[in-house]
Amino acid sequence: MDKVLEFLKELAANNNREWFQDNKKWYDQSREKVLFLTDVLINEIGKFDPEVRGLQPKDCMFRIFRDVRFSHDKRPYKTNFGSFICKGGRKSMNPGYYFHLEPGGCFVGGGIYMPPAEPLRTIRSFMADHAEEFLEFTQDPDFKKDFPEMYDDRLKTAPKGFPKDHEHMDLLRYKSFIYSKTFSDKVVKSDKYIETMVDTFHQLYPVNSFLYRALE
């Protein structure tokens, strides 16, 4: 991944169409490496999570081109590569596994990010009845060591339709159910980065399994 991170570093310093076109071959090579990584991860994750089996890498990988139509930031390109590996691909809004490659900002994560109102209500209802089960694996010392807290994006008050005095209101107020772990560039450049990522995703499998059950 050395060349991929180097490409992203140069892109961040030269975020314009002229530089991008002059280095199109470098971009294409980097993109192919990330697609290959995505394919390997699909196969490895599929060994413990059947929901991702048969996915196509192109359906998981995000485009590098930014939509600048309604943004004050007119830089045309993202300065990262990322793929969201989940049933139905990145657009499906299902629980899944995400990796993010960016110089000085690499991380992996799992769960479901900002689901629409109806699936969010469904997850909260399931969580209300099964919170102890969720806490059993998310409070496990080995899990907590790598994922001390869930992504902190919560309502300030109780969600509509749930009793304000619910024992686990702290969980019901979340708008996303995401855990993530950062990695240094050194780890990503190492020979064991795929093994490290797969091990981390395996830790997150119980979260996604719980969320899939909630959505059934």
Contact 76, 20 (CB under 8 A): yes
Contact 146, 200 (CB under 8 A): yes
pLDDT band at 74 (very low <50, low <70, confident <90, very high): confident
pLDDT band at 194 (very low <50, low <70, confident <90, very high): very high
CA torsion, ordered 206, 111, 101, 72, to nearest 10 deg? -170
Report CA-CA distances (Å) from 95 to 13, 77, 166: 34, 26, 25
Structural domains in the chain, CATH included, are 2-215 (3.30.930)
CB atoms within 10 A of CB 66: 15
pLDDT band at 66 (very low <50, low <70, confident <90, very high): confident
- Per-residue pLDDT at 47: 97
Contact 201, 214 (CB under 8 A): no
Residue 86, C-beta contacts closer than 8 angstroms, at least 6 positions apart: 51, 52, 60, 92, 94, 95, 96, 97, 208
- Per-residue pLDDT at 153: 87
Residue 49 has pLDDT above 90, yes or no: yes
Q: How far apart are CA 29 and CA 174, in angstroms?
A: 39
Phi, psi of 55 (to 5 degrees): -65, 150
DSSP string, 107-122: EEEEEE-S--HHHHHH
